[in-house]
Amino acid sequence: MRITIFLLTVLIASQNLVAQDKKQITMNDLWKNYTFRVKDIPGFNAMKDGNRYTQMDREGKRMLIRVYNLATGSQIQTLFDNSKQKFKDSTLNVESYTFSKDEKKMLLLTDGESIYRHSAVHHVYIFDIASGKISLLDDDKVLHPSFSPDGSKVAYVKNNNLYYKSLAFNAAVQITSDGEKNKIINGNCDWVYEEEFAFTQAYQWSGNSKYIAYYRFDESKVPEYSMTKYTGLYPDQYTYKYPKAGEPNSEIMIRIFEPATGWYTTAKTGKEKDQYIPRIKWDDYTGKLCVYRLNRLQNHLELLLTDPKNGNADVIYREQNKCYININDEITFLPDGHSMVFSSEGGGYAHLYNWDWQTSKLIDLTQGNYDVDALVGVDELRQMVYYTSTESSSMERKLYVTNLTGTFKTCLTPESGMHSITPCAGYNFFLDRYSRLDKVPVIYLRNASGTIIRTLEDNKALEKKMKEYALGKIQFKNIAGAHEMLNGWMITPPDFDSNKKYPVLMYQYSGPGSQEVADRFPVGNFFWHQMLAEKGYIVFCVDGTGTGARGEAFRKKTYLQLGKYESDDQIAAAQNLGKLPYVDKDRIGIWGWSYGGFMSSTCILKGNDVFKAAIAVAPVTNWRYYDNIYTERYMRTPQENQQGYDDNAPEKMAARLKGRFLFIHGTADDNVHFQNSAMLTTALVNAGKEFESEYYPDKAHGISGGNTRYQLYSRMTEFILENL
């Protein structure tokens, strides 16, 4: 027995010496040197023949777009070299590019300037590959440039108006003229559509290039929000339209323009104006436009197949839900002209279906108590449907293939973990970004049988670099929540000793349908959390009620009560962590960003006997202050659900604060307004509570740029070391 104890002591001591010999993560590693950067394939674009791809390669200041053989990786040719191909002797620093459908021309985007989180204006150049000629699309920076399918025109948005340029005549045509800031938008989304329906280009060419369908937003009745920009002696006021919960939305028209004749048609979307059009999509087999019509409660969806000549429409699909319907892009129209493959969770889990609206025949393509994560694509020639799902585990994604009748199914990526799939034209090859919780991402090229043809990026440099550092062990660990078992991961200190007690910092996001606990690398804020583990903290993350990949019932349980069940789970998880022999139950903290900041704020107040400290970055503090599309989807309006809004608002719980609390916000946050933190400050002051706060002038929701992230994470680290 003594010999065993002696050997164990020697083993632990030797492990500690090994850990001491390794490097410690520093803030410079994280936010200045970017030591742990994960490599991807910049500018990867599979070409239409399905056998080649293009990629952006940088050699110092030189930027090249090269063509490679997909199967072998051998270089075939250089399409663009900014050291040789210039515009009026000016070198173009190309940030991104797109091809025309025939791959004879390219759009080169430079000088990007962000508008909101997902939109940006660029100087755009048209590059003719054969001649090497480069021309400027427009003298000004523009939004959403795109070739017509026949390659003869380029459409774009400028000053809230939609244009197209005829390449044959080198002439621009202004399609709309009523665009006006904070009033009328043509071809681009308003703020709330961009943020919550996840698209920005609000126009689409028809497949035959005869029409452009576009959104017209009338923002006139939407209330304005102003933010101060501290940029000069007298600060500027930035004002934009932001509809908070219960407030009016833009009125939307879908218009269809025919360039050949200059003729306009308006899609007939019904008399109701207080509704959403979250998507439009051309059915190239019928030549008609599919318009998604969603009611304001977001629980009744209709698909309208619209004639571009007169705007008349037929309803080809309806879906209703007792809570809400999630909008996605997972619809593929089929060549017969009267059926489609689409995704729905009407059966309790997200699954794929083949729907024939002419015969009203519905075929289940996927079945079971698991969620289909994404429709990867439909191979119409072979009549195969490719998709990723959680069938093997809610924490994994694998690629599967079935047929259009759902009569067989094959898994093409048997390896456990996370597979993010990009199909190549023709579905002969797939790009597979693969990782596991403790394995760096590898990018594989697979064939249609799932066989790995070659490795495009293995991130071996990162793997080698990580071995130089004293990293803690990360592992999955299930834990009991308030009502059921929950998925979690845990990082322990590099010299972890189960006979000691450690403080715990919990991290979470917790928003509806989100997932932080998955078998992928890296998990959220992984290397900063590793730095804290090196300093003696256990870091724990748990996905509670309302998060994704566990079916509709689990996710929608939070309906009308955002924050209630999520915080119950985090508090219960913290209490159960405190029962572990190596956890100091009196030193448990929690932090999060955005929705996660809302949750950490709620937890430090509602769970004031459980959490010693909390950090909330850019938190929602009352859902009345947030936008209506997101908030009403889960809460309905404040007028309908006053108690749901008030019972779970950190602003209303301020008097319950006991522990140490730091909340952080950017003053130019166009998403979760600084108002949230300002109102929480007022509530805490009125309640006589002590707290800490940090604000970042002119910084948006991501709180980044220059030295900002370095300072932000230094501040949070300092707070944790002093208070936990």
CATH number for the domain harbouring residue 698 = 3.40.50.1820
- pLDDT tens-digit readout, 658-670: 999 999 999 999 9
Q: What angle do CA 568, 712, 676 make, to 5 degrees?
A: 50
pLDDT band at 695 (very low <50, low <70, confident <90, very high): very high
Residue 415 has pLDDT above 80, yes or no: yes
Span 6-30, mean pLDDT? 65
Total structural domains within the chain: 1
pLDDT band at 9 (very low <50, low <70, confident <90, very high): very low
pLDDT band at 209 (very low <50, low <70, confident <90, very high): very high
Residue 345 has pLDDT above 70, yes or no: yes
Q: Across the chain, what does the average pLDDT equal?
A: 95
pLDDT of the residue at 232:
86
pLDDT band at 53 (very low <50, low <70, confident <90, very high): very high
CA distance 186 to 218: 9
**Domain membership flag for residue 196:** no
Number of neighbouring beta carbons within 10 Å of residue 13: 10
Residue whose structure tokens are 């309208």: 304
Q: What is the pTM of this model?
A: 0.94
Span 707-718, mean pLDDT? 98
- Asked whether 591 and 511 are in contact (CB, 8 A), the reply is no
Residue 2 has pLDDT above 80, yes or no: no
Sign of CA dihedral 56, 704, 197, 375: positive
pLDDT of the residue at 517:
98
Give the contacts of 88 (CB within 8 A, at least 6 positions apart): none
The angle, 0 to 180 degrees and rounded to 10, between the axes of the packed helices 708-723 and 526-534 is: 40
CA distance 24 to 534: 7
Nearest to 375 by CA among 410, 347, 339, 341: 341
CA distance 347 to 310: 36
pLDDT band at 11 (very low <50, low <70, confident <90, very high): very low
**Domain membership flag for residue 22:** yes
pLDDT band at 117 (very low <50, low <70, confident <90, very high): confident
CA distance 164 to 280: 19
SS3 718: helix
Residue whose structure tokens are 């699909």: 317
Residue 322 has pLDDT above 70, yes or no: yes
- pLDDT tens-digit readout, 571-599: 999 999 999 999 999 999 999 999 999 99
**Domain membership flag for residue 171:** no
Number of neighbouring beta carbons within 10 Å of residue 622: 21
Number of neighbouring beta carbons within 10 Å of residue 31: 19
Span 431-435, mean pLDDT? 97
- Asked whether 102 and 74 are in contact (CB, 8 A), the reply is no
- List C-alpha distances in Å: 445 to 331, 424, 455, 561, 686: 25, 10, 6, 44, 60
pLDDT of the residue at 20:
63
Structure tokens at 148: 């017509």
Residue whose structure tokens are 């019509």: 293
- Asked whether 30 and 528 are in contact (CB, 8 A), the reply is yes
End-to-end Cα distance, the chain: 38
CA distance 266 to 311: 5
pLDDT of the residue at 21:
85
Radius of gyration, CA atoms only, the chain: 27
Residue 527 has pLDDT above 60, yes or no: yes
pLDDT of the residue at 42:
84
Strand-by-strand arrangement of the 52-59 sheet: 45-46, 52-59, 62-69, 75-81
**Domain membership flag for residue 479:** yes
Residue 3 has pLDDT above 80, yes or no: no
CA distance 349 to 335: 27
Q: Which helix (H) or strand (E) holds 453?
A: strand 452-457
pLDDT band at 43 (very low <50, low <70, confident <90, very high): confident
Residue 4 has pLDDT above 60, yes or no: no
- pLDDT tens-digit readout, 131-155: 999 999 999 999 999 999 999 999 9
- pLDDT tens-digit readout, 615-626: 999 999 999 999
Which are the catalytic amino acids?
594, 669, 701
CA distance 331 to 624: 33
CA 124, chain centre distance (Å): 25
Structure tokens at 595: 């929705």
Lowest-confidence region among 15-19, 518-522, 574-578, 596-600 = 15-19
Residue 355 has pLDDT above 50, yes or no: yes
Domain containing residue 635 = 2-35+469-723
CA distance 365 to 367: 7
**Domain membership flag for residue 576:** yes
Residue 19 has pLDDT above 60, yes or no: no
Residue whose structure tokens are 């025949």: 361
CA distance 522 to 541: 13
Structure tokens at 4: 């065993």
Q: What are phi and psi of 372, to 5 degrees?
A: -75, 125
Residue whose structure tokens are 């949230």: 676
**Domain membership flag for residue 175:** no
**Domain membership flag for residue 45:** no
CA distance 493 to 532: 8
Span 30-38, mean pLDDT? 97
